[in-house]
Structure 1
Amino acid sequence: MKTIQKPVEDLTSDQLIFLKKCENSQQKSLGTGTKQNILDGLYRQFKKEHVKGSLAFRDSEVSLVVGHNTHWQTANRILKESIKEFDISLADHQKNTPFSKVVANLKKAFRDEVVHLKSERDSRKVIVFCFNFQHKHMRMEVNKTIEQMGDMNDIEKFYPLSKEKAEHVANHCKIDKSKSVKLVNENTKTGLLVTFEQEDIDTVDMKFEDLEKEIKKIEKQFTGYSLYDYLSGEGKFIKKATEHETKCSIFLDLVEQKSFRALITVKCGDILQEKCDAIVNSTGKSLDFSGQVSMALKKRFGADVLGGLLKNSTWVIGNQLCLCDTSGRLPWKYIFNIAIPTSKSEFTSAILCLLTEAERLGIQSLALPTIGAGNMGLDPTVVASYMKDAFARFDAQKKLLHDIRVVVYQSSQLSVFQDIIPKQDINKSIGMNVKIYGSSVASLDEAMKKFQESCDKIIKSFVIKTTRPDFYGFEKSEIEKFCRVNDVLLEWKWTKNVEECHIQGLSDNVKKVKDMIDKLLEGDYPANWSSMPDGQNVKRVELSEISHEYLDVKRKFEESQPSYSKLIKIERVQNKLLYSQFKDRRNAKQAEFAGQNKVITRQLFHGTSFDIVDNICDRGFDRNFSGKNGTAYGSGVYFAVKSQYSVGYCRGPTKYMFFSEVITGDYIYGNSSYKAPPEKSQSTRYDSCEDNQSSPNIFVVFSDSSVYPSYIITFQ
């Protein structure tokens, strides 16, 4: 394609000088952080008027290269209009300074900028030539530079560096020949503004080139509940002390937070579209899948699939709440089927049990419908108030279940259910990234070691276990309250079928909480006991149906789906003498198995008849009466792992079952001839016998003080 190249016309000599400076020049001070040819800005203006052209430079001549003559005329006009000039007067404090020195300093300060500076000695003005797209920025920079020049023997120069490197250089590095070093930290500009004498510019430039190569960095991730919050607040002195000792700079970045409260959200949508660990399906009392979610499930996955899941379901609350493990056949790990409750206490109890079971299973995200407020016809306002009460009772210190969603199908009900969200607590840091800058590998290693040692003293962690496979519900409730009040992270974990209490936080807080937990677990009597006057040795306390203690015992009773129609009551047995004897024996076993990961006690079931209940509550289990129901594994007292088994030994229309804490310790397969556990060494015997060593269903104990009758479950 033919092109036309003609010299530019109607430009002044200063404008031509400016254009010559643009040849092969790159602009880097417009705040973009990147470099580009300064002429690209001019060419963009050509393009706006549909001109394809460029500048050509040869000796002292500047030409325009375009497609045809009409384009050349347009391009020449745009070029003339694009070159702007403005004049700058000196600041008042520079009136007596030789004008030549001012101009020299300005030229040095802007030697990296694509501008032309012309001086007028008589008027003591500096005229600046630049493109129109530079004009605003350059005018501000020149004015600012003149204002800040001060002593005309000095010059200021900006050296771009990352924020962290700039801070390290400013605080810990010596810049030879510099008079001052100022940190610049703006949105588009970070680095150092250095003041020095004109003749030292090369020395300072070389120093900064060397620093870029010399400065080294290491980084590491630290974990610790509220560690970042502490080090960023009242613990700042720890970081500063390490920096002072090692001449390094430490920077902390938050990388992970956890909410101190389960996060509850209310949203409008289809619950089947929720990507979460488990969903809740509301249905009729007979699990007839008649609710709105039920029908949607059947339509999407088929009645046969749901029927198959139901066959493998586990009852959490008989005829009220059952759990289906989908085994990967559906988008969720579990489906909770909840029969529509008929009273507030039943509703609250069911939701609490649902949330507690979800937490126990390690479910992190759970979606619930507006239970019964759809085609079941319940009043949405009433349902919302019941759910709000249940959520408020659910412990704020739960850690696994952190995403609870209430999905409203009918948008008209959204405002009603938004009120159920309890007040949210603040987030706390649990992880941070530590970056350390220094001049040598040795100094970096020293700084990281000192900082790590300081953090290890700030944050403490403990793992607490009981003698049983898991904690009592009341113990967990108290421990969670201790941690919440004292700002300590709590996580419940299962390791080899044993529940562990993991606590972490600031050292003083954790020590305080650990002492409280030790006192709770090792007190004279359990912390959940009701008060007993002096002289009273035995007391039976009926539990509230919505208490954590009641729900915990009820859940364990119903785990194996025992055959019953009505749960009448659950009572706590408080017997000072029996508990003291049991505790002494349990403590002795703890000492014997110290350092071993041994389950010492278990919560087991024992069915009996009405006439025996008072005797057991008053005097404990008596092995002298063993044999009434057989002695296949020895002449001791028999206990079952599953309540379903013990139901068969309950006599009468109203049935009674003890839920007891039993010292099983080291056990061995039983034999009908045993009057006591066999010897395992010359000086010790086994603690109990069982029916299946790999997976026991029955335990037999031969010492009356090896059992404490914790609860009586009365049912029909």
Structure 2
Amino acid sequence: MYKVKIGKSILDVKKGDITKETADAIVNLNNKRLDYDSGISKTILAAAGDSIREECIRSGKQPHGDVVVTGAGNLRYHRIIHLIDAVNTVKIVAGVKEVLKACDQHNLRSVTFPAIGTGKAAIGAKNSLECILTGIEEYALGTATSCISQIHIIAYKENIYQEYEKYNLYLKLYGKDVTLIKGDITKQDVECVINLTNCSLNRNFGVSAAILSAAGSSVKDECKTLAPITTDKMVLTSGGNLKCKKILHLIGPTSSEDMVPALERILEECVNHSIKTVALPAIGTGMAFMNPSDSITRIIEGLIQHFEKNTHTSLTKICIIAFTNKVYQAYSQAFKTISFQIQESEPYSGDNFDAYLRNPPTWTDMDTDEYKTIELSNKSIEYRDIEKKFYESAKPYTCKLIKIERVQNVKLWQSYRIRKLFADRLSPYQENEKLLFHGTNIETAQKIIKYGFNRTYCGKNATLYGCGTYFALNAWYSCTDTYSVPDKDGHKHIIVADVITGKWRKGESRYKDAPPTGEDPETRCDSVVDDVDNPTMFVIFCDDGAYPKYSITIKR
């Protein structure tokens, strides 16, 4: 069994017989005549007894998507909530919300769900759980007060439970995906694989030997050329025959105290090479003989340290690969515990919410000022990070960077953080934020710094994808005179912004507001784009959906 926290409710998932569980309410998957005689419904109604069948008959034909509350008969529950025709993903999400609404209306504090959709509807276990969680999260987000404290999901079949359990071995840390996988690191579809080796780069046993063997002779030859290495050095080779493009070789840490610094160095090296996805082995569980539980805890700690220090890291996905059953079992147990602890500390209310809205640690003291701009030293790490991102994406445009100013606007920051919290709660399993560029003239740049982005400025340059605020993935687009108009000194002004891109769809000039996602007419996109599969232009229609983080001044 494992558990997570959603809103104020504790949710657990376990394998078992739903008719033997105890809660205030049980969810029964039924048809509109309330006489479905197959699968889990047949089992529940048989256990409840004839009195409940008769009550269902008296309730009559029901419309799609509704719920009906009846007694529970011989079951250990107080009520049965019959969910009508939840046969696709959209209906499951909507149905789960209706069930929870019924629980609040009838003051039912705990509810048990079956594995919705995994029977005759033939919905995959992963999609099933995803839909149930989405429904719970959307209901929690839209409900200020709820009496529901316990939510249970029961998987009767072993294969369904195993799929559900795999889905839980996943964390969202600072918007980045962290996944635990049992398997072979050489078969992972990532950009970079980490190889913990010896000074000669030729370790002939364990995971390191497997990596070199699978990578092939070309990588072995590269290693011969690059060897030897010291404990403070790493080398990058091609991926050879592996799916990855690169292999990062280093001498692994030999104690738990060395784990976090070592992992930070590994991640920094990945960022230096603009790597987005990486596979880590079970660091420390081999030659270092580290306890697996301690190992995974240190790995997560190292990830958190990296993400806290590098808010604009290139990394988006980290896969932690456990090869043996022993390590995987220990990792998975620790992973679930860590996941629950992280979710418990999420910023929903009280002190945690205040901390969520707190000014970033990089800001200087605001005193009583509502906003200010701070010119960054060109020797600071913060300056160099933004400078690097700007120049890399400004090519082939050539220019001189005059200055970078950090924008510190308390009101805009708090409005943006609240908007991002909602986006993260609605879409918790995806990256919802991007750092983008917005070219403009000096007058508008000053207004943005003081008052934030404003859709009324749109139309000055383009409305091809809708009447919103436009942001570019690449700086060169914002550098053109069409967008960043030179001032009297020949200086051009570009805003670097955190933007909630979330869920998107292809933009159209007729859009004056965010269009529906397409999955649910009631749910709107966070942004629209020029190309759904490979977007380089993002348009938002909500003014507080972007925060002007830096103001860059350049000259041609």
Short-chain TM bin: 0.3 to 0.5
Determine which structure has the larger strand proportion and give its number: 1
Which of these two proteins has the greater Rg computed from alpha carbons?
A: 1
